[in-house]
Amino acid sequence: MDTAARTDVPPIGNPEASGGVGTAEVSRLDRVGEIDDAAAAVRAREGDLDAYELLVVRYTAPAHRFAVLLGAGEDADDVVQEAFVKAYRQISRYRGDSGFRPWLFSIVANETRNLHRSRKRRDGLTLRAAAYEETGVTGPDPAELTMADERRRQLVEQVRRLDFREREVLVCRYFLDLSEAETAQALDIPKGTVKSRTSRALAKLRDRLAVGVPGA
């Protein structure tokens, strides 16, 4: 998706983004850098592009990780870019009664669903190893580390094989640490549905991992 020619959205996906905010932007973002999400969203609704760009800088990485976890794969950049464009256009609908992050994630999730529907081959969906971060624990026993790696691989594979609706609930609850309420908002489903899908998905994972990895 090309937003270079658009004048109705702030800059998104700037080449400097991968290395941080460019020096030309630092002083501009510093003016709003200390405000919270709700205040930034209010300013954005009033037409303050600097405030919205702050939200873009703040949430590009988490939104990208969310899209990858939901199976966007190599299309995650496009999903996130389109989500930020739509969020900007719909910022007037954000009332601030809940966090900006789950509100944005609801748009990312919807864009990812659209991506899935447009794909002809569902077996091309991937769950990237980027879902996992280093634990910071040093000096593990090599045998234990090997088993941990195998369990991780199995977990990634089995989460990928879950029904999309079950997968997205687990991603929100356990990979992104969203609360039940935030997950319900992000996925636009009742809290009761979050509970039931989470329970069902965890039961499936327990069964599959117990079979797939001894001692899991």
Task: List the CATH number of the domain containing 168.
Answer: 1.10.10.10
Token output for 205:
């994972």
Q: What is the mean pLDDT of residues 29-46?
A: 77
Percent of the chain with pLDDT over 70: 65
For residues 195 and 207, what is the distance between their CA atoms, to the nearest angstrom? 18
- 108 has pLDDT over 70: yes
Domain with 37, as residue range(s), is 17-121
For residues 82 and 3, what is the distance between their CA atoms, to the nearest angstrom? 9
Q: Which residue among 90, 121, 152 closes a domain?
A: 121
For residues 76 and 112, what is the distance between their CA atoms, to the nearest angstrom? 8
22 and 108 fall within a common domain: yes
Confidence label for 80 from pLDDT (cuts 50, 70 and 90)? very high
pLDDT digits (tens, 9 = 90+) for 3-28: 444 445 555 544 344 344 443 444 45
pLDDT digits (tens, 9 = 90+) for 142-152: 555 455 667 77
Q: What is the mean pLDDT of residues 62-91?
A: 90
Instruction: Provide the 3-class DSSP secondary structure of residue 71.
Output: coil
